[in-house]
Structure 1
Amino acid sequence: MEGRTDELVATIYAALLGETSWQSFLDELNGASPGALSTLFFHDMRANAGAMAYVSGSEGREKALGDYESYYSNLNPWMRKVAVTPIGRGIIGEAIVSRDEFNRSEYYNDYIRRNGLETGLGLTLHRDNACYFLLSTLTDDKDVDRNLARADTLTQIAPHLKRAFRYYRSGEFHAAALDLGEGVGDASGLGLIVVNDDLRVVRASAAGQQVLAAGEPVGLDVMGRIRFQDRDLQTSLQAMFNHGRSGQTTEVTYAPQPGMRFIRFGGSRVLQFFAGPMVAILIGDARGNLKPTLLEVAASHGLSLAETRVFSGIVGGQSITEIARSAGVKRETIRSQLKSIFTKTGTTSQKDIIRLAAGISR
């Protein structure tokens, strides 16, 4: 890993620009340590559990990855002390837990050592409340000096990875999704409020803004975060942001109060790891007369956020060229997403998509 900082930084920005993938970045990082296992993963301190978004060096270790998520993440002694490790600084395992203590742990004896590894180094990239997002390399190399040099490389690339988090969590990155949600809310007259995983409002329809101003059934607390008066609604909303949920499919949850639904936007691994989940709150009238929206039609067929944008554009009479232009992507990308929509909805043409949306609306 030593001496490859410039190449790694270049790959980070290439991934941000879509010229390569984040998997390629992780493969390049892992390639500098033969036999290593590198991951981009998160650990939720509240649930004391974690999961991996990207993995490199997993050949022959597929079962080990499943074992980690289902059992050993709860026993990882490094994660128990992650809250006291600085964000943005590479650190070796021995600086968190002494070698003697680590060697006595079940995590080392039954997981690390059994998979041909000895120690690790890592980097905390981002913290979202009690959830930590990290970059980690497990290695069979116990040489402290070499691992310190590798950790120093992580420190040098950390500012660029943190910039990636800032971009993916910015309004600019989410603009297309937010415009879609706002358009659906305004067209239907529903109170629609889009919330990020910090429970902050990132977009609201006109009716949604009126609901927030009235504070009933939902408003903002003194910190500017969404707060329902009903505790069950608050609990249901917070559950939608669980990072362990299957995140690549748009998901509808019927809230425990008539006339209200929560929609968690689905997306790729990039969205789930870097951008974090977003949830749309749909509020109907007091009688629960909440008509299905395009978002719910899309969710009922498991469309991703990008596919939902295409679906909405087709129903709204836009051409593939117009959808591509507004989304800032190539026409071929929209065509590929449209093919996926056909498969998921059982349709074969754009006219079928419009009929599908109209039929469900009736």
Structure 2
Amino acid sequence: MRSADERAEELTAAIYAALLGETGWQAFLDRLNGFTPGALSTLFFHDLRARAGAVAFVSGSEGRETALQDYEGYYSNRNPWMRKVAATPVGRGIIGEEIVPREEFNRSEYYSDYIRQNGLETGVGLTLHKDRGCYFLLSTLSDDRDVERNLERAHVFTRIAPHLKRVFRYYRSGEAHAAGLALGEGIGNAGRLGLIVVNDDLRVIRTSVAGERVLAGGDPVGLDAMGRVRFASPDLQAALQALLQHRHFGQATRIVDDPQTGVRLIRVGGDRAAAFFAGTTIAILVGDPQGNVRPHLQALAAAQGLSPAETRVFAGIVAGRSLTEIALASGTKRETVRTQLKSIFAKTGTASQSDIVRLATGILRAD
């Protein structure tokens, strides 16, 4: 039988083989699960805010197919381990008895109606990453209640933890979504549309020039006071939130079209690993405001050589907003807006905000 360190070395090799595309994450999990006969191993997440979780990869589910559906549909909110996941250390393997005492765990609905019913008794887990109340974990459930053997399995989890944390850093660097971003850019360029790419925190991670103009105008989509993407339409905002849910692991590409605004939302599917490790990204495609939203204002800003960020400030001043309101709407500091305003003055030959309004309305002639 392999020692704990030998198993850790074998799993470390499997991690990098999956990361480099030589195998896959299912192969890594199958190898881990193979060290414990009759076990059930998963890469999964638990969202404390939603009090729910979902499984991205599973090994050992043969004969337990309904167990995963039951977990996601009901027992994830009954799992006593997950109720205390916030107190568990990130990066250290831990056995179930360290989280919840055995006597207390055995009295839970989760144990009697789910764990025991599936021929299991306890588990070993590892918190890999946490992000805004959402925890990403590796777990092996088994019927082996021997504490010493389970502590040895936990040691293996601890040994491979640094490598799995590097996987999260890689995926969240943006490389994992490169193909999806390229798809969105291609569609945007072909259709002369504005592209805005957002992550699962509704933060903008990429925009086209036309996308910047869309955000500057704020209609149909702009930024709220926290710098997050916000649609004027509550229905579109709800559709965006639904597409960003973590549980869409490996599903087909989904597209939501809104005929009233011409907005298209695209969640590129197919890559379970990217969805689990990096989170979901959405490409928002919107008609270029240069052609249909205050064209004279956009044309004037372009003629004066204003950048997209300066155009946003320019439009805000013409709309009568204060510098503080413009800063809040764009998610920037007021001093940044003041600097952009000084640049606008220099480029347009104006000396005050009133001059900018006069320029926009044609009272003050541009040179």
Quickly name the TM-score band, shorter chain normalised.
Answer: 0.7 to 0.9
Shift of 1:217: 3.5
1:272 aligned onto 2:267: no
Alignment of 1:64-213 (within 5 A): 64-213=67-216
State the alpha-carbon separation in 2 of the partners of residues 246 and 24 from structure 1: 17
Helix, strand or coil at the partner of 2:277: helix
Deviates more, 1:222-231 or 1:124-133: 222-231
Code of the aligned partner of 2:4: E
Does structure 1 retain, via aligned residues, the 8 Å contact 2:214–2:288?
A: no
1:50 aligned residue: 53
Helix, strand or coil at the partner of 2:103: helix
1:2 aligned residue: 4
Code of the aligned partner of 2:255: V
Helix, strand or coil at the partner of 2:197: strand
Does structure 1 retain, via aligned residues, the 8 Å contact 2:194–2:288?
A: no
Does structure 1 retain, via aligned residues, the 8 Å contact 2:264–2:284?
A: yes
State the alpha-carbon separation in 2 of the partners of residues 257 and 246 from structure 1: 30
1:68-101 Cα shifts (integer Å, max 9, x gaps):
2222222111111112222222111111111111
State the alpha-carbon separation in 2 of the partners of residues 159 and 187 from structure 1: 42
Shift of 1:274: 1.8
Helix, strand or coil at the partner of 1:43: strand
Does structure 2 retain, via aligned residues, the 8 Å contact 1:233–1:257?
A: no
1:294-338 Cα shifts (integer Å, max 9, x gaps):
xxxxxxxxxxxxxxxxxxxxxxxxxxxxxxxxxxxxxxxxxxxxx
Helix, strand or coil at the partner of 1:78: helix
Code of the aligned partner of 2:51: N
Q: Which runs of 5+ in 1 are unaligned?
A: 290-362
Helix, strand or coil at the partner of 2:195: strand
State the alpha-carbon separation in 2 of the partners of residues 227 and 129 from structure 1: 19
Shift of 1:207: 0.5
Shift of 1:169: 2.2
Alignment of 1:292-303 (within 5 A): none
Shift of 1:30: 1.2
Asked which structure has the greater CA Rg, the reply is 2
Percent of pairs with identical residues: 70
State the alpha-carbon separation in 2 of the partners of residues 203 and 182 from structure 1: 10
State the alpha-carbon separation in 1 of the partners of residues 144 and 228 from structure 2: 46
Does structure 1 retain, via aligned residues, the 8 Å contact 2:266–2:284?
A: yes
2:17 aligned residue: 14
1:217 aligned residue: 220
Code of the aligned partner of 1:180: L
Helix, strand or coil at the partner of 1:182: helix
State the alpha-carbon separation in 1 of the partners of residues 8 and 246 from structure 2: 30
2:34 aligned residue: 31
Deviates more, 1:180-189 or 1:4-13: 180-189
Does structure 2 retain, via aligned residues, the 8 Å contact 1:193–1:281?
A: yes
Does structure 1 retain, via aligned residues, the 8 Å contact 2:249–2:271?
A: no
State the alpha-carbon separation in 1 of the partners of residues 257 and 187 from structure 2: 18
State the alpha-carbon separation in 1 of the partners of residues 174 and 107 from structure 2: 46
Code of the aligned partner of 2:76: S
Does structure 1 retain, via aligned residues, the 8 Å contact 2:210–2:288?
A: no
Shift of 1:256: 8.7
Does structure 2 retain, via aligned residues, the 8 Å contact 1:12–1:161?
A: yes
Shift of 1:247: 4.3
Code of the aligned partner of 2:67: A
Does structure 2 retain, via aligned residues, the 8 Å contact 1:195–1:279?
A: yes
State the alpha-carbon separation in 1 of the partners of residues 58 and 240 from structure 2: 30
